[in-house]
């Protein structure tokens, strides 16, 4: 496979998706697509009472991400690379984690109508980290609406992501454990990771920085 034209960077809250997506877009001269979570008017209420406001927050995310995907359909992905800080299919991770059974059934009906009409990336980069690392990074960026995020929620979310990507086979996948590196703060970590991403072409690979190898 030639160099991926459309790369999606994924992972749980605080793992560094957006920072890596921005770095990739800059290096590749690519179009950058960000989900802008802070524009969700239900997000602050969701973190205050997850059960009460989950459906509104989730549906807003689903529809706004779908609108972005439709815009991608109208652009020529072959004239310019595209980097996104989310994978559309991951939306159901949060839905399954936060919605009641009835809400999830309704959500799934909407998702099944929209999902087939989105663009699949040429490569997904999935960033992992331990819950304590995620919490530290969430606290570091200091977003007001994330103040109520705790280690238990992040641990549950991280497990849901791991379960999702363990079974993921729709596109080439690079799994990166960032627990012991920080590409956002350490330029050397970033350069090494960018080189690993450039080399990946097909299948599923895992990059474990402590082992300094891919396998």
- Report how far residue 85's alpha carbon sits from residue 41's, in angstroms, rounded to the nearest whole number: 20
Question: For residues 174 and 7, what is the distance between their CA atoms, to the nearest angstrom?
Answer: 11
As given in the structure block, the two tokens for residue 95 are 């839905």
* Cβ contacts of 141 within 8 Å, gap of 6 or more: 14
Distance (Å, whole) CA 173 – CA 170? 9
CA 65 to chain centroid: 12
CA distance 6 to 203: 16
How would you classify the pairing of strands 123-128 and 173-177? parallel
Residues 85, 108, 132, 180: which is the catalytic one?
85
> Does residue 182 carry a catalytic annotation?
no
Residues catalogued as catalytic? 85
């Amino acid at each position: 496979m030639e160099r991926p034209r459309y790369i999606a960077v994924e992972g749980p809250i605080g793992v560094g998706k957006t920072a890596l997506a921005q770095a990739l877009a800059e290096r590749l001269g690519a179009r950058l697509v960000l989900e802008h979570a802070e524009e969700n008017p239900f997000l602050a209420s969701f973190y205050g009472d997850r059960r009460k406001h989950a459906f509104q927050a989730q549906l807003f995310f689903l529809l706004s991400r779908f609108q972005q995907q439709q815009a991608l359909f109208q652009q020529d992905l072959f004239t310019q690379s595209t980097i996104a800080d989310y994978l559309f299919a991951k939306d159901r991770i949060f839905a399954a984690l936060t919605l009641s059974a009835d809400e999830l059934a309704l959500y799934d009906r909407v998702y099944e109508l929209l999902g087939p009409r989105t663009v699949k990336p040429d490569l997904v980069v999935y960033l992992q980290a331990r819950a304590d690392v995620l919490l530290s990074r969430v606290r570091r960026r200091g977003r007001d609406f994330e103040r109520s995020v705790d280690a238990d929620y992040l641990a549950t979310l991280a497990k849901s992501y791991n379960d999702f990507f363990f079974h993921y086979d729709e596109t080439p996948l690079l799994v990166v454990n960032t627990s012991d590196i920080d590409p956002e703060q350490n330029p050397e970590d970033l350069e090494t990771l960018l080189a690993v991403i450039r080399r990946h072409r097909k299948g599923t690979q895992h990059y474990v920085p402590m082992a300094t190898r891919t396998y």
